[in-house]
Structure 1
Amino acid sequence: MEKILEVKDLNISFHTFGGEVKAIRGVSFDLAKGETLAIVGESGSGKSVTTKSIMRLLPESNSEYKEGQILFNGKDLTKVSEKEMQKIRGKDISMIFQDPMTSLNPTMKVGRQIMEPILKHQKTSKAAAKKQAMDLLRLVGIPNPEARFEQYPHQFSGGMRQRVVIAISLACNPKVLIADEPTTALDVTIQAQILELMKDLQKKIDTSIIFITHDLGVVANVADRVAVMYGGKIVEIGTVDEIFYNPKHPYTWGLLSSMPSLDASEEELYAIPGTPPNLLNPPVGDAFALRSEYAMQIDMEEEPPFFKVSNTHYAATWLLHPDAPAVEPPEAVKKRMKLFPEIKEGK
């Protein structure tokens, strides 16, 4: 498949009063045309920093691209000027943020906000831009777009506001759409509607999506491939089937075990022990070792390379070394594997 975006050995630091925070450490992945890649992990694992770096939205005052490339249409986005980036941002690469209320201007009518990127990036009249904005409101499932066009964000529900944000992000038919936990601020019923909308829209406009989430249940329904992040690194990557049916990294096991299910009692709900590492002083060896019951001595001393599980599945854990003891995923993970066919029906 044609690659539309390639991230190669990306290293990003933040300079703080406490010292240098090594937030992203050697991240590499690619995105194919029409594909949905989910990036999952706990808060602080580096998901949002990675995707904001693609948009060049990190604060210039204290962030630094230390190493690596972000290749889009043959251009390294870490090297282009801000003026060039403004032509790409919103037009070729667009982003849906977590909270729709803070993403929208409360003093501007919704229709005008949807028209803005159209007028900025496309040579079109105001009348044509208005018609396009109306079409986008219909596309994202907002009824009575003529009336809604003239309303302000506070006159919309949370789910409707998120639909407006999606309409704005789709205004210029972007090649890459980044969705940064777009359903986190919404209740579960509206979450399901927004996820269904995004799957439907992807088929209609043939865009590539990077979907950031901490919820593996969401991933099962929307993603083609999954990258699991921990401590500023990708620790496992594979197709959605491989990550759910054949996970290999102990951190992925922990995330799967933490997924609530309707048939689990309170005693069975699992939480990964400990806290993510302090990236002011990144740990030597495997960053997850101190939280893993499967850690070996080598995990404390040497960082694991990626081991190949299949042509599409790789995991950075010493448990895959030929000399490592055979370890089975915990029972909680096996239970989630049985649930996965039910989750996947909607995909």
Structure 2
Amino acid sequence: MEKILEVKDLHISFHTFSGEVQAIRGVNFDLHKGETLAIVGESGSGKSVTSKAIMHLLPESNSEIKQGQILFEGKDLAKLSDKAMQKIRGKDISMIFQDPMTSLNPTMKVGRQIIEPIMKHQKLSKGAAKKRAIEILDLVGIPNPEVRFEQYPHQFSGGMRQRVVIAIALACNPKVLIADEPTTALDVTIQAQILELMKALQKKIDTSIIFITHDLGVVANVADRVAVMYGGKIVEVGTVDEVFYNPQHPYTWGLISSMPTLDTEDEELYAIPGTPPDLLHPPKGDAFAPRNRYAMKIDLEKQPPMFKVSDTHYAATWLLHPEAPKVEPPEAVQKRKRQFLGLKEGN
């Protein structure tokens, strides 16, 4: 499958009054043409920082890409000037942000906000751009698009505002769409509608999607592959089936165990003990070791490499070393695996 985006050995730091925060510590992943790659993990794991680095949206005042490459169509985006990136951002790579109310300009009609990237990147006349904008509003499921084109963001519901944000991101038919927790600010019913919309749109416009979320339930419905992030690193990557039905990293076990299900009682809900690492002082070994009940001595001393599970499945845990003791996933993971399989067979 053709690669459209490659992130290689990416290291990003933030310079603060307290010192250097090593937010991203050697991230590697590929995005293939036409696929949806989900990046999951707790808050602070580095998901959004990685996506903003791709878009050149990190603050210049205190952030630094210390090493690594972000390759898109032969160009290293990490080395491009902001002026050069302006020709790519919004045209070839677009982003949907978490909160539609802060993504939209409250003083501008939504039609004008959709027209701007079309006129900038596709060099269309105002009339042609308006026609295209109305078509996109209709495409994302906004009724009466001609009327809605002339309205302001406050005249839309939360779900409809997020559809407008998606319309802006899709205005120029981008090759890569980055969705940074696009359903977090919405209620569950609207979340489902937006997820279905994104799946349908991907087929129509043939774009590749990076879907950032902390919700593994969302991942199961939208992604082809999953990359699990923790402490500024990717600790497991594989197809959706591999990560859900055969997870290898103890952190992935924790994420799956903490997913509520329809028959979960309040007292049964699992929480990963401890807190994420302090990246002002990154740990010497595996960042998850202090929270990992299966941690061995080597976990505290040396970072594990990515061990190969299959051609598409890799995990960074010493438990996969040939000399490591055999450890079975917790019962909660086994239980959810049975539930996932049951749901899959039911579909």
Equivalent residue for 2:10?
10
Which 10-residue stretch deviates more, 334-343 or 101-110? 334-343
Q: Which residue of structure 1 aligns with residue 252 of structure 2?
A: 252
Structure 1, unpaired ranges of 5+ = none
**Residues 253-288 of structure 1 deviation map (CA, whole Å, 9 limit, x = unaligned):** 000001000111112100000100000000111000
- Letter of the 2:274 partner, please give it: G
Contact 1:137 1:164 in 2 (8 A): yes
**Partners of 2:87 and 2:271 in 1: how far apart?**
44
Amino acid at match of 1:326: K
Q: Aligned pair in 2 of structure 1 residues 49, 25: CA closer, same or farther (>3 Å)?
A: same
The CA distance in 2 between the partners of 1:209 and 1:346, in whole Å, is 27
> Equivalent residue for 1:331?
331
Checking the alignment, whether the CA contact within 8 Å between 1:93 and 1:174 is kept in structure 2 is yes
Rate the CA distance shift 1:106–1:342 in 2: closer, same or farther, 3 A: farther
Take 2:345 and 2:228, find their aligned partners in 1: how far apart are those partners? 22
Q: Does 1:162 align with 2:155?
A: no
User: Match of 2:148?
Assistant: 148
Q: What aligned pairs does 1:146-295 form with structure 2 within 5 A after superposition?
A: 146-295=146-295
Asked whether the 8 Å contact 1:217–1:343 carries over to 2, the reply is: no
- Is the partner of 2:323 in helix, strand or coil? coil
CA 1:257/1:308 → structure 2, altered by over 3 Å: closer, same or farther? Answer: same
- C-alpha distance in structure 2 between counterparts of 1:103 and 1:53, whole Å: 18
State the distance in 1 between where 2:326 and 2:345 align.
32
Shift in alpha-carbon separation, 1:41–1:338, aligned structure 2, 3 A: same
Instruction: Show CA shifts across 1:136-165 (max 9, x none).
Output: 000000001111011000000000000000
Structure 1: distance between partners of 2:128 and 2:343:
41
2:35 aligned with 1:35 = yes
Alignment TM-score, normalising by the size of structure 2: 0.99
Q: Tell me the secondary structure at the aligned position of residue 69 of structure 2.
A: strand
**In structure 1, what is the Cα distance between the partners aligned to 2:205 and 2:161?**
21
Residue 308 of structure 2: aligned partner? 308
CA offset at residue 297 of structure 1?
Answer: 0.6
Q: Tell me how far apart the structure 1 counterparts of residues 339 and 46 of structure 2 sit (CA, whole Å).
A: 28
Question: How far 1:341 sits from its partner (Å)?
Answer: 3.6
Tell me what 1:121 maps to.
121
Alignment of 1:97-136 (within 5 A): 97-136=97-136
Equivalent residue, structure 1, for 2:79: 79
Q: For the residues of structure 1 that align with 2:182 and 2:60, how far apart are their CA atoms?
A: 25
The secondary structure found in structure 1 opposite 2:78 is coil
Q: Show CA shifts across 1:207-227 (max 9, x none).
A: 000000000000000000000
Paired residue type of 2:140: V
CA contact 1:220–1:343 (8 Å) conserved in 2: no
For residue 121 of structure 1, report the CA deviation from its aligned partner. 0.5
Partner SS for 2:79: coil
- Tell me how far 1:173 sits from its aligned partner: 0.3
Aligned-pair RMSD on alpha carbons? 1.1
Identify if the C-alpha distance between structure 1 residues 11 and 69 changes in structure 2 by more than 3 Å, giving closer, same or farther. Answer: same
Shift in CA distance, 343/6, structure 1 to aligned 2, threshold 3 Å? farther
Secondary structure of the residue aligned to 2:137 is helix
Rounded to whole Å, the distance in 1 between the matches of 2:152 and 2:210 is 29
Contact kept in structure 2, 1:24 and 1:46, CA below 8 Å: yes
Shift in Å, 1:345 = 7.7
Q: TM-score, normalising length from structure 1?
A: 0.99
The alpha carbon displacement at 1:342 in A equals 5.5
- Rounded to whole Å, the distance in 2 between the matches of 1:345 and 1:20 is 49
8 Å CA contact 1:180–1:213 kept in 2: the answer is yes
User: For residues 19 and 122 of structure 2, what CA distance do their matches in structure 1 show?
Assistant: 43
Deviation at 1:80, TM superposition (A): 1.0
Answer yes or no: is the 8 Å Cα contact 1:220–1:340 preserved in 2.
no
Cα 1:70–1:343 shift into 2, 3 Å? farther
Return the alpha-carbon distance in structure 2 between the equivalents of residues 213 and 12 of structure 1. 20
Find runs of 4+ consecutive structure 1 residues off by over 3 angstroms.
Answer: 341-347
Q: Assess if the C-alpha contact under 8 Å between 1:249 and 1:315 holds in 2.
A: yes
Partner of 1:78: helix, strand, or coil? Answer: helix
Against the structure 1 CA distance between its residues 39 and 345, is the aligned structure 2 distance closer, same or farther, given a 3 Å change threshold? Answer: farther
* Cα offsets for 1:189-234 (capped at 9, x unmatched): 0000000000000000000000000000000000000000000000
Please tell me the residue identity of whatever aligns with 1:119: M
The 1:346/1:34 distance shift into structure 2, 3 A limit, reads farther
1:82 Cα offset (Å): 1.1
CA distance in 2, matches of 1:205, 1:346: 30
Contact 1:220 1:344 in 2 (8 A): no
Q: What is the rounded CA distance, in whole Å, between the counterparts of 2:281 and 2:149 in structure 1?
A: 50
Percent of aligned positions that are identical:
84
Matched residues, number: 347
CA 1:98–1:342 in structure 2 vs 1: closer, same or farther (change >3 Å)?
farther
Tell me how far apart the structure 2 counterparts of residues 305 and 59 of structure 1 sit (CA, whole Å): 31
Task: Provide the rounded CA distance (Å) in 2 between the counterparts of 1:110 and 1:132.
Answer: 13
* Structure 1 residues 270 and 244, CA gap change in structure 2 (3 angstroms): same
